[in-house]
Each structure stands twice: as C-alpha cells, then as structure tokens.
Structure 1
Amino acid sequence: MFRIVLKYGVIAGLVVGAALLGVSMAYGGQPPPDWGMAAGFASMLVALSAVFVGIKHQRDTAGGGVIRFWPAFGLGLAISLVASLIYVAAWELSLVLIDNDFAAMFAGQMVERAKEKGLSGEALAAAVQQAREFEAMYRNPLLRMPMTFVEIFPVGMLVSLVSALVLRNPRVLPARA
C-alpha cells in the first residue's frame, strides 16, 4: 500500500505543483486575474483525481475488487498528504524562482482592496495594520507552509471522502477480469 500512496501522491503532487509553478512564473508572482482562484482549485481537483485512481487500484489488485470505507478513506488521505507536501514545496520553490516580495505585494493588494471599498480613517488604518500583520506573518516559513498546506489538503480530504464512498461499492467501475 505504501507504493500506491507514494506513486499516486507523487503524481498528484507533480501535476498540481507544475500548474502552480507555471502560473506563478507566467504572472511573475502577481496573483492572476479573478479566474486564478477557480483555475487553482480546478487544477487541484484534476491532480487529486489520482486519489480516486489510487483507491481503485488498491481495491482491484490487493482487495480483490472490494474495499471498505475506512481503508479507502485512509488511503485517499495518505495520497492527499503526499500531494499536499509536494504542493507546499512547489510554492516555496516558486517564491524562490520568482524572487519578488510576495508578502509585501499581497499586503499592498489588501490595502488597495480596502481603499476600493471606500474605507477611510480608522477603518482604513485597521486594514493597513491587518495587512502589515499578514505580511510579517507570511514571511515566517513556519507559518507560511501550514497556510499553503491548508489550501490543498481540505480539497484532498473531500476527494478522499467522495472516492471512498463511491469505490466501496464493488459494482462501481468493477475490476476487469
């Protein structure tokens, strides 16, 4: 089972990591337009389809066409964990390759959004202070890496849950003879 976790986790991680690196390099570290978040989550779903394939592979080979929910869910979580760790590594690599101050740029965008909303005076000062706190926090890799991990791992949990629920039924995509 360890080989399945590693194989499908690395596949998912490389797919989502390549998408992340590609977009980061294409936009020079600037967040892409409004569609960027949707495209990011879509790439996560595409990459994490490896969870479904990994669980099905385990069910069809080692399980003789049958797998219970909890083992399937656990396998999916393990694959998601590996993919998420590779995603974090890809983000850290993109921060190095882009070589711009992402934390300052993002904090600046937070202030700009507050101004666009029409905030002024004390409310704007609070938004500026919040942006500064975010910038300081994001510069710490021990805080940044878990934040990055939490971007993808809940998606992996959801994919694992759905995959385990679907694949526990041996009549769904049965093993070929």
Structure 2
Amino acid sequence: MKNNILKNGILGGIIVSIVMISMLFYMKAYPDREPNAIIGFSSMFLAFIFVILGIKQERTNNNGVITFGKAFLTGFAITFVISTLYVLVWLVIYYNFFPDFMEKYSEMVLKNAKPEELAAKTTEMNQMAAWYKNPLMIILLTYMEIFPIGIVVSLIGALFLKRNSSS
C-alpha cells in the first residue's frame, strides 16, 4: 500500500509542480498578463487522476475488494503526497527564485481589477501580503490551493471504486 501511495503521489505531484513552475515562468516573463487559472486547476485535476489510479490499484491488490473507508484513506494519502510536493516546490521557488512574488502578483491583480473592485482587491492583496510574511501561513495558503480538491476527488473515487465483495 505504501508503495502504491508514494508512486501515485509522486507522479501526481510532479505533474502539478511542472505546470506551476511553467505558470510562474510565464508570470515572470509577462508580468502584465494574469496566468490562466483554468490551466492551474486543470493541472490539479490531472494530477489527481493518480488518486483514482491508486485507489483502483489498491482494489486490484486486494482481490477486487475495497471498502469505502479504505478507498478514501488511500486517496487521502495520495492527495497528501501530491499536495506536499506542490507545497515544497512552491517554497523552493518562492524563497529562491521569486521572493517578490506577492508584490508582483498584487500589482498584476490591481492593474487588472475593475474600478468598482479596486478597493476590495487592494484590501485582499494587503491581507495576503501580511500573511506571506509568515512562513507557516505560506504553507497553509499553498495547501489550501490544492488539498481540498484532492479530498473531493478522493471522496468521489472512493464512492465509485468501492467494492465490498469480489462478485
């Protein structure tokens, strides 16, 4: 089980991290253009295909039988590995290559904000900038980008792949 979790978690983590790195290079190259959030979230869903594959592999390893709980825990563990790799890659990038990310991101968001949204967006960006001064908050915010999606995929995967008997 541990091998299954690590293998699928690492593969999913690599996929989502490569896309994140690509989007950050895009952001550095084109600071006036906001990266497409659909691409980012699509890469997360693509990475979480490994949650489904991992649950299916676990079921196969158990002679075609897996309970909802066991399926969910397998998916949850794979999600945790994927999310942790995503967070670790972000921390390396942020602290070593893009320490001014929050300033650049705030500038981009405020430049692209509609006039009626400017005050609210300014408050939001100031709050994020304050949070980004604390490394623990950076970790928590980064986990919150990806981890909830993985939990939902784990629940859906467990629901559809559970099989209580080998009939």
Alignment TM class, shorter chain as reference: 0.7 to 0.9
Contact kept in structure 2, 1:108 and 1:131, CA below 8 Å: no
**How much has 1:130 moved relative to structure 2?**
4.4
Aligned pair count reads 165
Change over 3 Å in CA distance of 1:128–1:19 after alignment to 2? closer
Matched with 1:65 is 64
How many angstroms apart in 1 are the aligned matches of 2:28 and 2:110?
A: 20
Identity in percent: 31
1:8-157 aligned at under 5 Å gives the runs 8-28=8-28, 30=31, 33=34, 36-61=36-61, 63-96=62-95, 98-113=97-112, 116-118=114-116, 124=119, 128-157=122-151
**How much has 1:95 moved relative to structure 2?**
1.9
How many angstroms apart in 2 are the aligned matches of 1:15 and 1:132?
A: 31
Show structure 2 runs of 5+ residues with no match: none
TM-score by length of 1: 0.81
Please, which moves more after superposition, 88-97 or 67-76?
88-97
The structure whose Rg is larger is: 1
How many angstroms apart in 2 are the aligned matches of 1:69 and 1:59?
A: 11
Contact kept in structure 2, 1:18 and 1:90, CA below 8 Å: no
Change over 3 Å in CA distance of 1:13–1:130 after alignment to 2? closer
Change over 3 Å in CA distance of 1:67–1:32 after alignment to 2? farther
How many angstroms apart in 1 are the aligned matches of 2:117 and 2:37?
A: 25
Q: CA RMSD in A?
A: 2.6
Contact kept in structure 2, 1:24 and 1:98, CA below 8 Å: no
Q: Which amino acid aligns with 1:135?
A: A
Residue-by-residue CA offset, 1:129-155 (whole Å, 9 max, x unaligned): 543332121132110111010111111
Change over 3 Å in CA distance of 1:27–1:64 after alignment to 2? same
